[in-house]
Structures are given as C-alpha cells and as structure tokens.
C-alpha cells in the first residue's frame, strides 16, 4: 500500500475501493456497463476523531460502507472515497 499525501480531518477516513467483481459465482462474466460500485474497501488514511467520537478505524482496516456514502476524489491518478467514520458500516 503506497503512502498517501493527504491527511483527513476530524472523523473522516480515506478509503481505497476494491475492484468490482469480474464474474458471478456461477461464472458469468459481468460487462463493465453492468458492474455495480463496490461497497468494500481498505482504509488508507484516518483523521484524529472528535472529542465526542474517537477514531475507531485504523489504516489497513478492510471495511464495508453504504452504496452512496462518501465523496469520490482522485489523488495521483488513483480513485479514493473520503467519508465520515459514521458512514462505515462494518470492519471485516
């Protein structure tokens, strides 16, 4: 995992989304136009948290998040999601 040059503030986390599935469990190949956005990713940077909500996530955690959660950003040609810790549903 490469070092990112961005530091989220407060209770925000930077997540690198995992690649979308290429084929179904039964072996059917999914075309690019039919792929859904991944809802799983790896935490690459975290903020310090707030006084009311301490940061529970850490760099390297694999997480599940809501389908429409976060803001898509691109840093050095890679796509990431910036979201609040409360938008993360679970740590895997």
Distance from the first to the final alpha carbon of the chain? 18
Joined together, the tokens standing for residue 20 give 């979308």
Number of compact structural domains in the chain: 1
What percent of the residues of the chain are helix, what percent strand, and what percent coil, each to the nearest 5?
5, 40, 55
Q: Domain limits at 68?
A: 12-20+31-91
- Is 57 part of any domain? yes
User: Residue 72 is encoded by which pair of tokens?
Assistant: 């898509």
pTM score, whole prediction: 0.81
Q: Residue 34's pLDDT is what?
A: 66
Coil, strand or helix at 49:
strand
CATH of the domain at 47: 2.30.33.40
Place of tokens 């979201």: 83
For the chain, counts of helices (H) and of strands (E): 0, 6
**pLDDT of the chain along its 92 residues, tens only?**
567 888 999 999 999 998 766 777 778 777 767 666 778 999 999 999 999 999 999 999 999 998 889 999 998 899 999 999 999 999 99
In a domain, 85, yes or no: yes
């Amino acid at each position: 995992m490469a070092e990112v040059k961005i530091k989220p503030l407060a209770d925000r986390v930077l997540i690198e989304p995992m690649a979308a599935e290429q084929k179904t469990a039964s072996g059917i190949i999914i075309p690019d136009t039919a792929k859904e956005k991944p809802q799983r990713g790896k935490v690459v940077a975290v903020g310090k948290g707030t006084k009311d909500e301490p940061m529970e996530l850490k760099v390297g955690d694999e997480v599940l998040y809501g389908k429409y959660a976060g803001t898509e950003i691109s840093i050095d040609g890679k796509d990431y999601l910036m979201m609040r810790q409360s938008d993360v549903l679970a740590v895997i």
